[in-house]
Structure 1
Amino acid sequence: MTLTTSSVSSALGPPELYGRREEIAAVEALVGRVREGRGGVVVLTAPPGLGRTALVEHARAVCGPAPSVQPTAPTLPTGLAHEGPQLVCLDDVHRWDPASRAALSADLRHVTAATPVAVLLTLAELRTGEAEFTGPTVLRLGPLDDSAAAALLDRLTEGAVDPVVGAWLTREAVGNPRLLTALVAALTHGQLTGRTPLPDPLPGGEDLLGDYALRIDELPFAARALLLLAAAAGEHEPDGAGADLALVLRAGGDPAGLAPAEAAGIVVNAGGRVHFTHTLLRRAVLRRAPLLHRRAAHLRLARACRERLPHLIQRACAADDHDARLAGSLTAAATAHQPHAERSAALARAAALTADAESRTDRLAEAAEAARLAGDPVRARALLARTGAVPAHGGVHRVRGLLALADGPADDARESLLTAAALLPPARARRALIGAAEAAWAMGDAAAYREAMTRLPACDDDPMLEAYRAGMCAVLAGRSAEGHALLRRCLDGVAGSGGMSGTSEPAGLLRAGAAALVVGEVETACEAGARALAAVRTYGPEVLLPRALEHLAYGELRAGRHTGARAHALEGLRAAHRIGQPNVAVSLHAVLALAASVEGDAESCASHAAAAAAGAGPHGLTQAATLAVWAVARTELAAGRPADAAARLAPLVAPGPRRGHFAVRMLAVPCFVEAAVQVGRSAEARHATKEFTRWTGATADLLASAQLARCRALLSPPQQAAAAYESALAHHDRLPGEFERGRTQLLYGQWLRRRRRTREARGPLRDALVSFERCGARAWADRSRAELRAAGEAVAGEPGPGPLATLTPQQQRIARHVAEGATNREVATRLSVSHRTVDHHLRNVFAALGVRSRVELSRLLAGEGGAPGVPEVPRVPGVPGGGVVSVG
């Protein structure tokens, strides 16, 4: 036990701590109080290894150099208050005997704010009902979060740790900085940098586990024996599942040992399952038990197990050398019917028992694939790292490629999967080639997609997959009619509810949904996505959950169900972060940006678009980047900034190397045409409309025909435009979806009003307002209200114009735009009037309001919060606000 007194002096540089901002602030506040001549007590409590002593050292460093004394009794020295301000540090008070702790607790009651003595003491985690030192301020330290652990690991290894090794070390350390330090110290440079496979289990941390075991060593023999059996039983259980108490008792555990273990706070018994209160307690029980005792516990459990796979895993834990027969039995028992996490654990055990290098690598690759399917990429990569350098193993390359498809550059994933396909037999190469095609699709590389799908052997055993393969190849080769006919075969098992001949397997349903979108059967795509999501939730695999939610959300966007799309995309985003699929998260951010662009939430759209752009660029995810750019451009249209929207979309829809993703660029054409026509870029709009016409003829998406009619109306000469708009609205009347209908109604009403047909304009503008309100498109509804005011109609429920009450509706709109900082030319573009008209109205506005400058006008309107219907669109990092946009 150590008691240290420090005279408070000027602060020195404290040692660097990670993830302890709040605790450091509390310690420094304690030092600050004693500097001011006031006292106080802070108690730091935590399990071993979480940094209690490091915080004490930090406090001493803040105080400066001071003598250290070893008292004859573990109590506060007398006379401290007469020696000036003092900080007393007492570390590991839990090691004191009960009488000494009681004496200290009594002494602490005399430390008041009037006493210039501060006390910082630490002790192990308080147990339930323990209240020795609960009067003072008590800080309970928790484990480091992932970012703090990563920062510590980076310092410990000077940034040289391999990312896969680092992720595994961080997981094994469970947020314990002392354990993480010990694990790093126990590994060689080659192991840390990934050049040498990691040992299993990881060495290091024995002294820390000894500290955890102190409470266990105090228990009676029956309790210790039962805890060893419970800890050993956890080896065949999923993480967090605990041990089956009935199995532990069948293996010889004494039921009388459970109560003392629970009273000591080491385990809890819930629903017949024994759970250790901390994972390091279980690890301490196993690692500190003598090898013979540990093997005996595993063998007793093996005899007591009634299921084959747990029986074999317990036998494997007891094995002391390679055992080919047991490894073969484990591999055979780890069938596809087992949960993926349990299958991975069994195959990893089988690999550890395998002497032959090739067979061992086969089993490690299968264990890694099972871990990937279980949604555990960290474990999957750690298992692959045990294989060492195996340049010609198709299974290893395949799993690496599939992991990179979810969390890495798409081109790297494609190359790994193509390499795997070349090394694997045809039946096993199929999934690798499908994955390579998925990577090429995300990249926007149609030729690479077609190459991967062409290499895929004829799938005679899977007619739906063969129809998909042949259909996609035909579409991308320009044979749309043939390709669509083939792809429709994939949809036979999706539409309807009974008598389906198609698949219920999630991956097949997701392919069917993709085929439906290519063909233009949007509702069928939504149904396929919903069925795939239900199947994943019911049967797994967990790894497909974010992707299923992404497919469904995107289909709902295409169908105009933006609220549902946002809900599913948010759920998918959470799942993607939890499972470790940042590439899917990028796509979901793009979907959320599009949903926000409909709802008129410019800030949310910009945030999600920025997140999509930040991830899409480094990983080459052109599809997500294209969707994000389109989303921001749509908010600019809602804000009345067509010049910005046209500049943003032009590279995406035009031919050339900077064009957007081949499968989605046509979807952005109607937005581009609308923006381009308003800013005088009619030639570009006509060229884009010509290509959009060809695309519309090849798709079954009925919305495309309505959008095409709207584009033609925008480009029509005045004498034909009204009929063109009426034709577009007739298309919309046959379709569900309010948002696109509202946009056509709004444009028609604007066209009528600008030709001074204000009475006729009010009808479509009212309809547009209702459409936008029904689908929650707030910014677009605001534009409709502004147009209605300009057409001379008061809008029910709107606030009055305030200082602008004396102005005409057109003058009010110009005043609000100018007050927001728009130039006269920008206002003219937004309102589709001439620059001279804006000049004329603005002079009248200044005269009517008695202001002499644009600055005075802005100040006058500042209380209104800006013009309704013209929200500012935040700039998006990585998605430029005009000019050239490259997403390729």
Structure 2
Amino acid sequence: MELFGRRAETAALDRLLARAADGTGSGLVLWGEPGIGKTALLEHAVDTAADATVLRCRGTRMEAGLAFAALHELLWPVTERLATLPEPQAAALRGALGMSADPTNRFLIGAAVLSLLSGLARERPVLVVVDDAQWIDEATAHCLGFVTRRVRTEPAVVLLAGHDDPASGPWEGLPSCEVVGLRDDDARRVVDAVVPGAEEALIARTVRSAGGNPLALRELPTLDDVDDGGTPPGQPPAVGPRLRQAFCARAEALKPATRALLLVAAAEDRGDRDVVQRAGAAWGVDTSSWDEAQRSGLLRTTGPRLEFRHPLVRAALYDGAPFAERQAVHRALAAVLPDDAVEARAGHLAAAAGGVDEDVAALLEQAAARCLRRSAGPTAASTLRRAAELSPDPADAARRLAAAARAAWDAGHVETARQLLDDAGRRGGDDPVVRISGGLRGILEFADGRPERAHHYLAQDAAAAPDPRVAVELGAVAVRAAWSAGRTDLQHEALRRLLDLDAGGDPELAALLPVLRAWWACYDETGDLAPPAPDGSGDTVGRLGAVPWEFLPPAPLLQAWGVEGPVHEALQLRIAHLRRRHELAALAMALAQSAVLDRAAGRWDAAGAAATEGLRLAEEVGAGHVATQCRLVLGIVAAARGDDTLVEEHTSRALADSVGRGVRALTASASWVRGRAALFGGRPQEALHQLMPLDEPGHDAAHTTVALLAAPDTAEAAMQVGRLDVVRAKTAALGTWAGRTRAAWARNAAHRLRALTADSSEAEAAFRAALDEARRGDDPFEHARTRLLYGEWLRRARRRADAGRELAAAAETFDRLGALPLRTRALREQDLTERPTGHAGSPAAAVGLTVQELRVAQLAADGLTNREIAARLLISHRTVGHHLAAVYPKLGITSRTELARVDVSGDLRLRAAPDA
């Protein structure tokens, strides 16, 4: 497997091998904790030294007491070369290797090994590799130390790998390199290589638990119980057999009292030396035990605190102990803790429990409540899950599992919450689960992007919830789920149920219900629900900024009402609060909302940052619905910037997630993004194909709010292809909405569309009214679009100077935002205002052209291709070619280049001859 994050170490080894090939020998001791990657580095050296003679051995605990056992393994492949050595050296080495009864002389043995390596190196370089050097026998260790210090003049490299710092002992004075843990980014690459396509949550948990240890990074993802907050309180995460063997081997050589001390320290997870010392007294733990534990390098103490050399040492020692010993240790720890240490005592007693125990379960429930008060959701969830396991009564178990599910949801662990909720339902039925979890099943369905199913559960659970606040929260989300599904009928039904709920004497809740009515009774055609428009500057927004996400209307609705500015400020406060509490699921939702509002206000970079962070969090917690919202924000920005590749990527993912689940709000938004990309890219027919279904009853992309927000784009595309019926319908719809809400964006769009279809005398007044509204709004992009359309109208009216000013201002804004397609269009229009006219440049030059020929000539002069002209005029591209063939001789020109210099931008009614 590829070595990640070891560039410096492998480069150092490569340099040693290169120097050996040039005749200069050296030695190096690689040291570090078990599993840190020393063996992998040795294998790299062996693979790199393909042309060398490789001698290797590995130390073992079984042979650590046998003199020269490791040397025997190392030299056995070349024992036939002993005959080449001077006889005294050969005799000593034969005796050391058990090949004769000759007496051993350690100096002669070291000299013999050095001579043997020298002889081999005369033929080709030699590489000596010793792994697990901490366990090789003492005689071999001193021999190799002797040899390593004397190979500088030979083409040979000696590599030794062990656990201990070689500052003392047989390796003293030798060059050394401590192999440390991998950085997080390299650690993530290791996990991804072990489990390709691993979920972000698994990668994050593994990296956090492994502490940079490569062996742990390779083993932990394959276990079923990588710590996800579900490890029982007071216990380390489980480790696999290779890790356990690697870390426990050293402890096995210690005396029983020291091993007991290490186990007590492993079970006590706070690093409190005093608690460990008092609990260990029953096992004879004394000063000598502490001294031996520290000399072993496994445990370190600093004043009243203690810590293991590596987090996995603690896990391995704990996991490797018999269950009965672990139980005894946890009981001893619980006994020495003070009464107010509820969480710690509960954790130890739970770890010691061998079966159901209501007393311990109740204590765990108290501990979980304390965790929730300090926003430790994952710990609370795992504590409650353990309490459920210890509950004798299934009803108590269900209650605790439902509470655990809510804690997991609040902490952003969506899948864990779903599993806990299912377990709770199997043990206690639906009603208790709804009551304790706060109607979580419907919220989970909503977060998973299944709005109609979510609406069903939420409406049902809101009616059953005993707490008025919970009931109103669930009712509000039920309305939102119906809106997301594009089901106006369900939205009205859910809103009526919501408004019928009793506030239970809660004045804040009573004041909030009219606010929710103001937001949600948007499209009530009967009039019995329709209230005045929400007040964006008053108490309405202030209340929304202080309530949970369940009460917030979706961002597109805020945008439609035109109050996104004040709500955005409230959202920023909410996001900061959720960050502090580490409520990841709610934070992802708030970021998605903020991204929509940032995009609508022209803060595209901020929108991209919020959407990117929200997408990462949503994928981490399993909130697919929110992830799709974030992708669509990134897609709509990409559409304006002309990045069709990103548009396709984000909308394809969105449609794959939304269509099958009936999330019409997201399906419609994806179609809107595609329609805008086509419109800005000069493909109006394609744009209209994407945008028209937003109003089509029964279509997967039909959604009233999105259709309203997309109305300006739909009308502009329709105008370019000659669908004046669509333009008039969209203008009327926007005018009605603008009159009702006074939203600046809607008034701007309504004026702008009226200008496109009005007579010359009325068009300019409509454009100026649109610009006035755009200046009062927050969106510089829409302001620039209005100036672009006005500039184009001015150019066609031959008011070149006025047109140039509007087009230049529009181009500058598009340039600042990175909206390249519209910037190009504005600059092209600006260039047309500055074109000189030639002999055919007077208005009279166009006399004799039919209306259709003049239209074709104008579009061709603007630089459109035959196919683009055909799409605008709803004719075939061959017909366009036929018209141009008639235009050229009438104007006395022969090409498009000459046509570009002809002034064909007059009033058609004055300059064109009747169509033939």
Shared fold (TM-score greater than 0.5)? Answer: yes
The structure-2 alpha-carbon separation of the partners of 1:747 and 1:258, relative to structure 1 and needing over 3 Å to count, comes to: farther
* Structure 2 CA distance for aligned equivalents of residues 683 and 454 of structure 1: 36
Q: What is the Cα deviation at residue 678 of structure 1?
A: 1.7
Q: How far, CA to CA, are the matches of 2:639 and 2:696 in structure 1? A: 22
Q: Match for 1:291 among 326, 329, 349? A: 326
Query: Which position in structure 2 is the counterpart of 1:334?
Result: 368
Alignment of 1:567-716 (within 5 A): 567-598=609-640, 608-610=650-652, 612-613=654-655, 615-617=657-659, 620-716=662-758
Distance 1:44 1:415 in 2: 63
The correspondence for 1:738, drawn from 772, 780, 783, is 780
Q: Give the CA deviation at 1:722.
A: 2.8
Match of 1:483 in 2: 530
1:359 aligns with 2:359: no
Instruction: Please list the CA deviations of residues 240-283 of structure 1 after superposition, one character each: whole Å capped at 9, or x if unmatched.
Output: xx545676578679997888767766567799765545442222
Trace 1:128-147 onto structure 2 (pairs within 5 A).
none
Q: Deviations over 1:315-353 (max 9, x none)?
A: 433444422233224324533524223432432332232
Task: Trace 1:184-333 onto structure 2 (pairs within 5 A).
Answer: 205=240, 208-217=243-252, 227-234=262-269, 243=271, 266=298, 276=308, 278-289=310-321, 290-301=325-336, 303-304=337-338, 306-333=340-367
CA distance change for structure 1 residues 229 and 544 in 2, over 3 Å: closer, same or farther?
farther
- Give the counterpart letter for 2:390 in structure 1: L
CA contact 1:513–1:526 (8 Å) conserved in 2: no
Provide the C-alpha distance between the structure 2 equivalents of 1:484 and 1:426, rounded to a whole number of angstroms.
Answer: 27
Spell out the pairing of 1:487-498 with structure 2 (5 A cutoff). 488=534, 493=539, 495=541
Deviation (angstroms), 1:744: 0.7
Contact 1:164–1:378 at 8 Å: present in 2 too?
A: no
Deviation of 1:791 (Å): 0.8
Q: CA deviation at 1:308?
A: 3.4
Which of 387, 397, 403 is residue 350 of structure 1 equivalent to?
Answer: 387
Match of 1:749 among 791, 803, 807: 791
Structure-2 residue corresponding to 1:521: 563
**Partners of 1:251 and 1:304 within 8 A in 2:** no
In the TM superposition, residue 285 of structure 1 has moved relative to its aligned partner by: 3.4
Question: TM-score scaled to structure 1, two decimals?
Answer: 0.70
Range with greater deviation from structure 2 (72-81 or 673-682): 72-81
* Range moving further from structure 2, 133-142 or 712-721: 133-142
Q: Measure, in 2, the Cα distance between the counterparts of 1:163 and 1:401.
A: 25
SS at match of 2:552: helix
Q: CA deviation at 1:563?
A: 3.9
Letter in 2 for 1:337: R
User: Deviation of residue 140 (structure 1)?
Assistant: 6.8
Tell me the residue number matched to 2:72.
73
The aligned amino acid for 1:406 is: A
Output the CA distance in 1 between the equivalents of 2:56 and 2:540.
Answer: 77
Task: Give 1:416-431 correspondences, 5 Å limit.
Answer: none
Q: Which amino acid aligns with 1:360?
A: A
Q: CA deviation at 1:359?
A: 1.3
Alignment of 1:56-135 (within 5 A): 72-73=71-72, 75=74, 77=78, 91-97=131-137, 100=140, 104=144
Bigger mean CA deviation after superposition, 577-586 or 417-426: 417-426
Report how far residue 168 of structure 1 moved.
9.5
SS of residue matched to 2:404: helix
SS in 2 for 1:460: coil
Structure 1 position 150, deviation (Å): 7.8
Report the Cα offset of residue 672 of structure 1: 1.9
Contact 2:503-2:510 at 8 Å conserved across structures: yes
| Structure 1 contact 213–284 (Cα < 8 Å) conserved | yes
Alpha carbons of structure 1 residues 706 and 490: separation in structure 2 relative to 1, 3 Å = closer
SS at match of 1:365: helix
Judge conservation of contact 2:70–2:137 (CA < 8 Å) in 1. Answer: no
How is 1:806-817 mapped onto 2 (pairs within 5 angstroms)? Answer: none
Distance change in 2, residues 1:569/1:165 (3 Å): closer
Q: Post-superposition shift, 1:113?
A: 14
Q: Distance in 2 between matches of 1:540 and 1:140?
A: 27
Change (3 A) 1:479 1:180: farther
Q: C-alpha distance in 2, partners of 1:570/1:771?
A: 24
Check 1:558–1:354 CA distance in 2 against 1; reply closer, same or farther (3 A cut).
same
Which of 440, 447, 468 is matched with 1:406 structurally? 447
Task: Tell me how far apart the structure 2 counterparts of residues 731 and 270 of structure 1 sit (CA, whole Å).
Answer: 68
Aligned counterpart in structure 2 of residue 763 of structure 1, from 805, 815, 838? 805
Is the Cα–Cα contact under 8 Å of residues 352 and 360 in structure 1 kept in the other structure? yes
Report 1:509-548 matches (<5 A).
Answer: 510-511=552-553, 516-517=558-559, 519-539=561-581, 541-548=583-590
Q: Which runs of 5+ in 2 are unaligned?
A: 58-68, 79-116, 837-855, 901-916
TM-score (structure 2 length as normaliser): 0.68
Change (3 A) 1:429 1:264: farther
Contact 1:331 1:346 in 2 (8 A): yes
How many residue pairs get aligned? The number is: 786
Partner Cα distance (2:303, 2:750) in 1: 62
List gaps (5 residues or longer) in structure 1.
Answer: 1-16, 235-241, 795-809, 850-888
1:346 corresponds to which letter in structure 2? T
Q: 1:118 to 1:816 in 2, by over 3 A?
A: farther
Deviations 1:41-67 (A, max 9, x none): 99998865688879999999999xx99
Are the aligned partners of 1:490 and 1:515 in contact in 2 as well (CA < 8 Å)?
Answer: no
Question: Secondary structure of 1:354's partner?
Answer: coil
- Is the Cα–Cα contact under 8 Å of residues 150 and 170 in structure 1 kept in the other structure? no
- Give the aligned residue type for 1:392: G
Please, which moves more after superposition, 368-377 or 103-112? 103-112
Q: Describe the SS at the equivalent of 1:478.
A: coil
Q: Which amino acid aligns with 1:365?
A: A
Rounded to whole Å, the distance in 2 between the matches of 1:666 and 1:762 is 32
Kindly name which structure, 1 or 2, has the bigger radius of gyration based on alpha carbons: 2
1:370 corresponds to which letter in structure 2?
Answer: A
1:824 aligns with 2:866: yes
- C-alpha RMSD of matched pairs (Å): 5.8
Instruction: Report how far residue 670 of structure 1 moved.
Output: 0.6
The answer as to whether partners of 1:42 and 1:138 remain within 8 angstroms in 2 is no
Question: Does the C-alpha gap of structure 1 residues 426 and 678 become closer, same or farther in structure 2, counting only changes over 3 Å?
Answer: same
Tell me if structure 2 keeps the 8 A contact 1:506–1:536: no
